[in-house]
Amino acid sequence: MAINWQQEAEKLEPQLLSDLTTLLKINSERDTEHKTSQYPLGPGPAKALEAFLAIAERDGFKTLNVDHVAGRIELGSGSEIFGLFGHVDVVPAGPGWQTDPFNPVIRDGKIYGRGTSDDKGPSIAAYYALKLIRDLGLPINKKIHFILGTDEESDWVGMHRYLESEPAPDFGFSPDAEFPIINGEKGIASFKIVQKPVAAAEAELTLNEFSAGIRPNMVPQEAKVTITGDLPESFAAQVNDWADQQGVKLTLTLGNPTTIKIVGKGAHAQEPKDGKNAATYLASLLVDLPFDPAGKAYLTMIAKYLHLDSRGHHLGINYTDKLMGELTASPDIFTFTQDGEQSVLVNVRYPQGTDADKIRDQIESAVGADQFDVSLSGHAQEPHYVPGDDPLVKTLLQTFTDHTGIAGHEQVIGGGTYGRIIKRGVAFGAQMPGQENVMHQANEYMPIKDIIMAVAIYADAISRLVK
């Protein structure tokens, strides 16, 4: 008997939204400042993991909690393991929200809150797909492991810890991207550009502090600077016109010191063009003023090499691969004080054909090794690709087409998902084609109809893959 997957999924909407609301109310951003021996990533991620596993236990699934940093929901049996990879952590809420980011609101058919689209909404859709398969009594001839991480937005501590003690799935997908499929992901690396000491000299203005950014994978929405000295008389009259022309908001507070704040637009670092980098706009505004040598050098580096150059041309790292597309560069963390660190962290998403060591050398050559030290921050994730003729890719694309009538096709993104953790791993949904990408942005939301359609697509796809 043919199953009307969409109809079955719609029956689950009330309970799904109730469970999703429970998860969204938990602020599960990484919080190592409040870590304990039991909760090494802070209490929030662990609480979200416990809540998700409690939902599964309520529904009769077998679960596993791995050191409060990863978890597993199990179904089926067999010699092969099919994996689902979701995450319960979120990036910080950041500024610009019109509602409480951790008190979800449903309006105009959309549910708003941090994590609705990345990745609590898609993960709960995948969970309800498993529940639907089980409740319909469909044949399952493989083990299904739904693995939940708690640190996908940072260092993948949870997933790496899981794989140290638990078996890796043979194939599978992560519900943490977009349809029709993501079967290729660029490499990801962050590079820290640190300014070397600059000899002091008298100047009309002193750059006391320059700061922006909250995470390496988020285009900074706000930037702030403090300045001592007398600004040119014409400056105050000109800045508002400048801000209007540039499409940013500016707040100038004259005094001793003077503060300037810029508000741009946040975005996911995988596509910096989706945002307006408040920090590089602020540097471009200030760079021609008579600052002290250290401040001048710092602002000049930002304005010359980082402003409005999301493909890394000025850094000398621009590169395009026929399959994976263009390299992207997003300067995301800015730190400057006169007596402390003077640095910028640049997040780079790179295709096959180049590598992190080469990119580091190219950045250092561009900015000048005599003025700046450049180093890899953390570890680099190499590019990942599962061929389009792999049965996993073909099955997922066909399922998507069967449900939507839209022809499926391969896609490569600059984002990084847990799909790359295994050789035959991809990302599959849940963002629908043409839907606004609001991941990592203020007022993040997901259309409820898209969550329910994802349940239907996931259930059908998983059923085809494990029967």
- Residue 63 CA to chain centroid, in angstroms? 27
Which part of the chain has CATH 3.40.630.10?
Answer: 5-185+384-466
* In contact, 169 and 462? CB cutoff 8 Å: no
Which part of the chain has CATH 3.30.70.360?
Answer: 188-381
* Predicted pLDDT of residue 269: 93
Of the candidates 222, 288, 220, 303, which has an alpha carbon nearest to the alpha carbon of residue 260?
Answer: 222
Bridge-based pairing state of the strands 325-326 and 320-321:
antiparallel
Per residue in 331-376, pLDDT (tens digit) is: 999 999 999 999 999 999 999 999 999 999 999 999 999 999 999 9
Question: Which pair of structure tokens corresponds to residue 404?
Answer: 């939507």
Q: Does the structure show a pLDDT above 70 at 71?
A: yes
| Identified catalytic residue from 19, 29, 89, 178 | 89
- Residue bearing tokens 């580096």: 301
Mean pLDDT, range 228-241, rounded to an integer: 90
Looking at the domain 5-185+384-466, which fold is it? Aminopeptidase (3.40.630)
Q: Does the structure show a pLDDT above 80 at 378?
A: yes
* In contact, 380 and 356? CB cutoff 8 Å: yes
Per residue in 437-465, pLDDT (tens digit) is: 999 889 999 999 999 999 999 999 999 99
Q: Give the number of other CB atoms < 10 A from CB of residue 222.
A: 20
* Residue 382 DSSP class: P
Mean pLDDT, range 92-110, rounded to an integer: 95
Percent of the chain whose predicted confidence (pLDDT) is above 90: 93
Taking the C-alpha atoms of residue 314 and residue 324, their distance in angstroms, rounded to an integer, is 21
* Predicted pLDDT of residue 345: 98
Q: Does the structure show a pLDDT above 70 at 271?
A: yes
Is 152 known to be catalytic? yes
* Predicted pLDDT of residue 310: 97
Taking the C-alpha atoms of residue 360 and residue 340, their distance in angstroms, rounded to an integer, is 23
Per residue in 294-343, pLDDT (tens digit) is: 999 999 999 999 999 999 999 999 999 999 999 999 999 999 999 999 99
pTM of the model: 0.88
* In contact, 76 and 462? CB cutoff 8 Å: no
Q: Does the structure show a pLDDT above 70 at 240?
A: yes
Q: Which CATH number is 188-381's, of 3.40.190.10, 3.30.70.270, 1.10.1740.10, 3.30.70.360? A: 3.30.70.360
* In contact, 327 and 311? CB cutoff 8 Å: yes
Q: Where would I find the H helices in 179-314? A: 235-246, 278-286, 293-305
Is 176 known to be catalytic? no
Per residue in 133-176, pLDDT (tens digit) is: 999 999 999 999 999 999 999 889 999 999 999 999 999 999 99
| Identified catalytic residue from 8, 118, 119, 152 | 152
* Predicted pLDDT of residue 331: 98
Mean pLDDT, range 243-251, rounded to an integer: 96
Per residue in 192-224, pLDDT (tens digit) is: 999 999 998 999 999 999 999 998 999 999 999
Per residue in 388-439, pLDDT (tens digit) is: 999 999 999 999 999 999 999 999 998 889 999 999 999 999 999 999 999 9
Cis amide prior to 321 (ω within 30 degrees): no
* Predicted pLDDT of residue 1: 56
Taking the C-alpha atoms of residue 284 and residue 90, their distance in angstroms, rounded to an integer, is 31
Beta-carbon-side half-sphere exposure of residue 338 (alpha carbons within 13 Å): 13
Q: Does the structure show a pLDDT above 90 at 94?
A: no
**Radius of gyration in angstroms for the set of CA atoms belonging to the chain, rounded to a whole number:** 24
Burial 322-357 (b: 16+ CB within 10 A, else e): eebbbbbbbbbbbbbeeeeebbbbbbbbbbbebebe
* In contact, 272 and 219? CB cutoff 8 Å: yes
Confidence of residue 233 (pLDDT cuts 50, 70, 90): confident
| 333-336, long-range: CB < 8 A, 24+ apart | 333/212, 333/213, 333/214, 333/215, 333/216, 333/220, 334/210, 334/211, 334/212, 334/213, 334/220, 334/223, 334/279, 334/302, 335/210, 335/211, 336/207, 336/209, 336/210, 336/211, 336/295, 336/298
Q: Does the structure show a pLDDT above 90 at 256?
A: no
The amino acid present at 410, given as its one-letter code, is E
* Predicted pLDDT of residue 367: 98
